A and B are shown apart, each in its own frame.
Chain A
């Protein structure tokens, strides 16, 4: 099968949905003339016109709010926040408007909006351009949250997200943009809310999402060499959460490590660990372990940044803690 990178996969998903559905529009900084700073919408403005591929001013609160309004009126906007770190500027349209509209109108109004936002550390971009902020969004009822790890998943999930009738936070990882993987040329969709077991194993379950899936698979290889067979679950979608896949795996391995790049305190890994504790406690042979970022601001210096968030060796160490 042909291989393309994660960025190209996202680009193709947007392109196909723009062709398929005239109500899909793109709004964001540098999305038009420049084709986005990550090159994901190259040529889109020429092909679809400046009315569907909109170069916005640097007004995140304004254009995200506008996207909510346009979605309420039947368009399907895809907003790009150049970095997820800028989401705090437009939390009101996301948290108080988009997320609550359906419920507070008694189901009258739908907001079919996708907010794409790259996050993640590893590029020495310092504290205001490196965060993983998924827990801000998983905490808010009304938002769906997707965080793919592979080109294949990114494409299939983004296409589904664009067709969703509720707001979706589509969280990408900057480091993954250049990561290659197999993606078929024929159309496919991946439903939201379905995890993917990326590796089978019997001794321990590693639950991860986004870039940490890559590290989890690396760790699993290393662990196999040490005689431990790890199962790796890629959640792909954080909300809705695929509990069945988690439960099945826990019943098989009885030991769990949950991994996230984000800072540990208040993170989504804690939510998953708690759900396992509440619903499958009797299955556990060891306490659920979290492997996560330090509770610090991401530092710029290359000498510090790598120490601030987990990589494969931290996951190996975490697994060794629960498999004794």
Chain B
């Protein structure tokens, strides 16, 4: 670990943290409509995984997707505008929090359907293979998504055809209120890789470097044509499943345990311990990131709503008007 890399990783993680805390605050103030799922606490998994990718690689994301998008290079102002339902947002206000996409950055999309991104990532990998491109596609998904048929079917095909993809499970222990150990009889999701004869590894999902190293190995394997891997990151979401979730299913001990393992505080500590940065430098970095998020909020607030005639646009590529009217 060198200082520059550590700073880069930390900056991305902070960006996610402050984006999420800000979004939650605005949501609770009633400034955002709909529903948001924040990923505070899971930043190391998201940043560690995306840092192991090239800019030309792809990801699919989930309903809890803000962190994935930021980690893959998404712009926080355009993201924030989407959360506000503004015309300047990534999807012109049509998708909202759960549907951010930037194909140019390789972000094939967050998704409102649990498990849906996994076969889509596998299909993206198929496209790379057929075209002979050396891109890799990485699918992010939760512990609970690994109980969907889509997960098992996709892993089977990816393995059978040695597709260049990487499956990254962020195991935060819960699918909404349901603890994974009540609905799944393996201790580690990574064990499921055995069924598909692919590597399955478990990492400390709150250690950004551990995630980075594991995903890097998986990405190299995928790129060299040896097929997919499953990487499970053990982590925890600090906030509710959705904003406003009373979280009756969590125990104070568990919350405390994970608070002590906050991925951002851990990285900060590591960096100061190893003399890679001073506390002052880290505080400056934090202030810069906070300012960037504030600017994003300002951009979103100042942006216009989409004009109402946009409601019928973009349903089809051709013959849109007739197809919508009839």
> Which range contains the number of A residues in contact with the other chain?
35 or more
A263 nearest CB neighbor, chain B only: B324
Contact A58 B144 (CB under 8 A): yes
Evaluate contact between A34 and B177: CB separation under 8 angstroms: yes
Within 8 A of A (CB), among B96-123: 96, 98-99, 111-115
| B311 A34 Cβ-Cβ under 8 A | no
Q: Collect the chain B residues with CB atoms within 8 Å of residue A127's CB.
A: 94-95, 99, 112
Chain A residue contacts of B184, Cβ below 8 A: 57
Given A129-B112, A295-B324, A302-B33, CB of A55 within 8 Å of CB of B311: no
| Surface stretch bound by A, among B145-153, B205-213, B230-238, B270-278 | B145-153
Given contacts A86-B113, A299-B94, contact A58 B149 (CB under 8 A): no
B interface footprint on A52-72 (CB within 8 Å = 1, 0 otherwise): 000111111110000000000
Docked CA distance A296–B320 (Å): 10
- Contact, CB under 8 Å: A126 / B98: yes
Chain A residues contacting B248 (CB-CB under 8 Å) are 33-34
Whether B249 pairs with A33 at a CB distance below 8 angstroms is yes
Closest chain A residue, CB of each to CB of B114: A58
Question: Could you say which residues of chain B place their CB within 8 Å of the CB of A226?
Answer: none
Inter-chain CA distance A295–B96, complex, in Å, is 20
Q: Provide the main secondary structure of the chain B interface.
A: loop
Q: Which residues of A contact B310 (CB under 8 A)?
A: 299, 304
Interface of A is mostly: loop
- Which of B144, B308, B311 interacts with A296 by CB under 8 Å? B311
**In the complex the two chains form, what is the Cα distance from A307 to B306 in whole Å?**
12
B85 touches A124 (CB 8 A): yes
B99 touches A300 (CB 8 A): yes
- B115-157 near A? 1/0 per residue, CB < 8 Å: 1000000000000000000000000000011011100000000
- Given known contacts A58-B147, A125-B35, A126-B112, A297 and B315 CB-to-CB distance under 8 angstroms: yes
Known: A34-B177, A126-B99, A295-B323. A303 touches B144 (CB 8 A): no
CA–CA, A58 and B241, complex, Å:
14
Asked if B3 is at the interface (CB within 8 A of a chain A CB), the reply is: no
Q: Which residues of B contact A297 (CB under 8 A)?
A: 94, 315
Q: Nearest Cβ distance between residue A23 and chain B, in whole angstroms?
A: 23
CA–CA, A89 to B147, complex, Å?
Answer: 13
Task: Indicate if the CB atoms of B175 and A303 lie closer than 8 Å.
Answer: no
Chain B residue with the shortest CB-CB distance to A55: B178
- Give the number of chain B interface residues (Cβ < 8 Å): 42
Residues 16-56 of A, flagged 1 when their CB comes within 8 A of B and 0 if not, give: 00000000000001101110010000000000000000011
- Most chain B CB within 10 A, of A34, A86, A299, A300, is at A300
The answer to whether A265 has its CB under 8 Å from any CB of chain B is yes
Interchain CB contact under 8 A, B85 and A301: yes
What CA separation (Å) do A62 and B98 show in the bound complex? 25
With A29-B178, A89-B113: A56-B305 Cβ-Cβ less than 8 Å: no
Find A304's partner among B147, B176, B249, B306 (CB 8 Å cutoff).
B306
| Choice from B35, B94, B99, B175 contacting A58 with Cβ under 8 Å | B175
Return the chain A residue nearest B89 by Cβ: A301
Q: Is the CB of B176 within 8 A of A29?
A: yes
The 8 closest A-B pairs by CB, nearest first: A300-B96, A301-B85, A301-B93, A128-B112, A303-B305, A124-B33, A57-B147, A34-B177
A residues at B contact (CB < 8 Å): 29-30, 32-34, 37, 55-62, 85-86, 89, 123-129, 265, 294-297, 299-304, 307-308
5 of the cross-chain contacts (CB-CB < 8 Å) are A124-B96, A126-B95, A295-B315, A301-B85, A303-B306
